[in-house]
Structure 1
Amino acid sequence: MSLKFPLSKLTHGLAVAALIGGTAVSTNVAAEKVRWQVPLAFPSHLIGLTTPVKHLTENLKAISGGDVELRYYEPGELIPAFEIMDAVSTGKYPAGYTWVGYDQGTIPALPLYSGAPFNMEPPAYLAWYYEGEGKELLEEIYDKRNIHPMLCSIIGPEGAGWFAKPIEGLDDFDGLRIRFAGIGGKVLEELGASVTMLPAGELYQALERGTIDATEFSQPAIDKMLGLDQIIKNYIMPGWHQTLTTSHLLVNKDVWNKLEPQSRALIEMGCESATLKGFAQSEYAQPTALREYEEEGVNAQTLPEPVLRELEDATNKVLDDIASEDEMFKRVLTSQRDFMKHHSIWHSKGYLPRDFYEYD
């Protein structure tokens, strides 16, 4: 939903009169002033990944008449990208906007929320998150960290990475030095790759200097913004390791609980609006980026189905191993698998097959 409507001209304390069933109802759009510093995990210009935070901040300021202001800061400007959760948890900053998978070492279940291998596509994920158990389980996870989490962005599948040579089989991953995130990284480790984690701003240099042999980061349009296609010309698809990517607004729970109900509702609605806006921006940008890759001679390889099936088998083993060691991971994974099985009758019968759409 969009928050851009005439209420943006209201100032603090202005009452809106509405007749409901003949009764006049007066409502304050905002009842307090909110001023938050919000560190980002990614540069703010990355389409669909962080651009929703601009939509969020602009609309919250407009609809509240300037009472709710979230000022965001680029990665490293306040704190390093990987430190956002701890900074919000301790109250060093009231909120942060991040990819929660960065904290998988502390909370193993988080990559199931940030984007997991062979998982749901965005429409099904949103159904599971908002109408199923997803939101409730995530709030339970973060409750122990004194954090209130809000889904604030979702985009579709990533590319599976940039490789010096095409991938023809699982043996091609053996020995690779690769930047790979989330559970997909653990799968590649099982296949013999040396996996490292680097933030977006360090990827170009790492490839250029040969510190890593290959990398994945995000979708075609975002990878293009980072210049990855300038160094490597083999682009592997589809994003088996992340069928979607989310970003979340994490708010210190003490700060959140002190807000008036009106302010909390505005921020929740703002994140829902930002999620929709970011998804639209992302879907609009990807085909343009892929067609530009073609013109530049980038080889956008689609992995053969037998390779994808083998990756799926390896992924399920990794997922089951993690589930056997962490109870919350098991609860979230079971919930997702149950919903995917339930949803499959609609997904398989209600939508046109992939090959119905012609590509030329």
Structure 2
Amino acid sequence: MTKLARTAVTAAALTAAMSVAVPATAADKTLLKTPVAFGTHLPALGTPIKWVSEQLPVMSGNKLKMKIYEPGKLVAPPEILEAVSSGKVNSGYATAGYWQGKMPAAALFSAVPFGPEAGEYLAWMYFGNGLKLYQEMYDTAGYNVKVLPCAIISPETSGWFKKPIEKPEDLKGLNMRFFGLGASVMEKLGVGTVQIPGGEIFGALEKGAIDASEFSQPAIDQRLGFHKIAKYNYFPGWHQQSTVFELLVNKDAWGKMSEANQAILETTCKASMTNAIAEGESMQHDVMAKAKANGVEIRYWNNEMLSLFKNTWDQVVEEKKQDAFFNKVYTDMSNFRDGYDLWEANAFLPRPQPNL
């Protein structure tokens, strides 16, 4: 074979190899277009998904990237699940409690009144049946999504009120922004509830459209200015002792991702769970310490009110359990918690009384 012929054969072989290699490399690359339900300026609420978006290209060598769209910029928060399932977008970040109107059990994967704290929630999610049931819920309901828990925060405040709430009668007739399963409790106690986005709460309080509101942790609520209008901030957050946030990925898009990118995304979301709770825990005390200077009175619910919330929650549970899948998830979670109680009761120091 002449030198020219050998050169031609070599060139042809290289061209053939490149024609195979290029599509494979392209298939390894994924851009997740991700509308979010919470502004990325909100600490521990919106910042976790921003952190994830920053880590993915570093972890994957730029093969996996995420472009974030702030609330309402591409998809409105209440429409994220449908948009991801239909393929309008290939991913979205929200919390499952937003979908409880479509799937009653969804709220159990978000926040549970008098429910698990963050460590217990994570234990059930990753080493109990939580994550399996979480995906099963979406599959059974016909949603074409892969769900990844991607952030968690510890307790929220119980609400911001314009007047003291000292007895059950003080709740009757109030209009209040309230989220998730806790709203069902408040409604039974005579409170009219609405679920409006965080960015609209201040205006609603200011105009008197609502009398009170819960939203998130003190550092987040401060960013939204609730303390300027409502001067009574109640604890503990009985309705949300911890809250899980989810990254939804369109199942078809997930199936096209390389195994490496799938693993990177799953692992980064799991790391985000740690990062989010650490961020949230680090900043609440500074904000609370400044409450008095802002004219805010921090209050801890008296025993009568806490018992009222708990007994009413027990009633709500019995009603919600009429939905078969809600009952399945709640029963599994409760069984796990019954076992966990033995550990918790013996391993942890008693909680000190609040110094308010």
- Is the Cα contact below 8 Å between 1:31 and 1:263 reproduced in 2? no
Structure 2 CA distance, aligned partners of 1:194 and 1:116? 20
Structure 2 letter corresponding to 1:348:
A
Structure 2 residue aligned with 1:192 = 190
Structure 1 CA distance, aligned partners of 2:291 and 2:247? 32
Structure 1 CA distance, aligned partners of 2:109 and 2:217? 17
Structure 1 residue aligned with 2:85 = 89
Task: Give the drift of 1:205.
Answer: 0.4
Structure 1 CA distance, aligned partners of 2:119 and 2:228? 33
Structure 1 CA distance, aligned partners of 2:72 and 2:279? 25
Structure 1 residue aligned with 2:287 = 289
> Normalized per residue, which structure has more helix?
2
Task: Give the drift of 1:53.
Answer: 0.8
- Is the Cα contact below 8 Å between 2:175 and 2:210 reproduced in 1? yes
Structure 2 CA distance, aligned partners of 1:30 and 1:61? 15
Structure 1 letter corresponding to 2:337:
M
Q: Does the residue aligned with 2:184 lie in a helix, a strand or coil?
A: helix
Structure 1 CA distance, aligned partners of 2:292 and 2:93? 33
Q: TM-score, normalised by structure 1?
A: 0.89
Structure 2 residue aligned with 1:66 = 62
Q: Does the residue aligned with 1:174 lie in a helix, a strand or coil?
A: coil
Structure 1 runs not aligned, ≥5 long: 1-28
Q: Does the residue aligned with 1:118 lie in a helix, a strand or coil?
A: coil
Aligned length: 331
Task: Give the drift of 1:359.
Answer: 4.4
Structure 2 residue aligned with 1:17 = none
Structure 2 counterpart of 1:38, from 15, 28, 34? 34
Task: Give the drift of 1:319.
Answer: 1.0
Structure 1 CA distance, aligned partners of 2:198 and 2:39? 8
Structure 1 residue aligned with 2:161 = 163
Structure 2 CA distance, aligned partners of 1:223 and 1:38? 24
Structure 2 residue aligned with 1:267 = 265
Q: Judge which range, 171-180 or 130-139, deviates more.
A: 171-180
Structure 2 runs not aligned, ≥5 long: 1-24
Task: Give the drift of 1:31.
Answer: 7.1
Q: Judge which range, 290-299 or 62-71, deviates more.
A: 290-299
Structure 1 letter corresponding to 2:58:
A
Structure 2 letter corresponding to 1:339:
F
Structure 1 residue aligned with 2:335 = 338
Structure 2 residue aligned with 1:142 = 138
Structure 1 CA distance, aligned partners of 2:42 and 2:344? 30
Structure 2 residue aligned with 1:349 = 346
Structure 1 residue aligned with 2:254 = 256
Structure 2 letter corresponding to 1:89:
S
| CA 1:56–1:30: 2 relative to 1, 3 Å | farther
- Is the Cα contact below 8 Å between 2:162 and 2:229 reproduced in 1? no
Structure 1 letter corresponding to 2:135:
E
Q: Does the residue aligned with 1:105 lie in a helix, a strand or coil?
A: coil
Residue-by-residue CA offset, 1:80-107 (whole Å, 9 max, x unaligned): 1111001001110000000111111001
Structure 1 residue aligned with 2:204 = 206
Asked if 1:244 corresponds to 2:228, the answer is: no
- Aligned identity (percent) is 40
Asked if 1:130 corresponds to 2:130, the answer is: no
- Is the Cα contact below 8 Å between 1:49 and 1:246 reproduced in 2? no
Structure 1 CA distance, aligned partners of 2:232 and 2:354? 23
Structure 1 counterpart of 2:102, from 97, 106, 109? 106
Q: Does the residue aligned with 2:246 lie in a helix, a strand or coil?
A: strand
Q: In angstroms, what is the RMSD of aligned CA positions?
A: 1.6
Q: Judge which range, 289-298 or 30-39, deviates more.
A: 30-39
Structure 2 CA distance, aligned partners of 1:291 and 1:146? 46
- Is the Cα contact below 8 Å between 2:233 and 2:298 reproduced in 1? yes
Structure 1 residue aligned with 2:73 = 77
- Is the Cα contact below 8 Å between 2:27 and 2:256 reproduced in 1? no
Task: Give the drift of 1:30.
Answer: 11
Structure 1 CA distance, aligned partners of 2:269 and 2:52? 6
Task: Give the drift of 1:306.
Answer: 2.4
Residue-by-residue CA offset, 1:150-206 (whole Å, 9 max, x unaligned): 100000111111111111122221110111010110111111111111001100100
Structure 1 CA distance, aligned partners of 2:89 and 2:152? 24
Structure 2 residue aligned with 1:329 = 326
Structure 2 CA distance, aligned partners of 1:331 and 1:45? 37
Q: TM-score, normalised by structure 2?
A: 0.90
Structure 2 CA distance, aligned partners of 1:100 and 1:211? 26
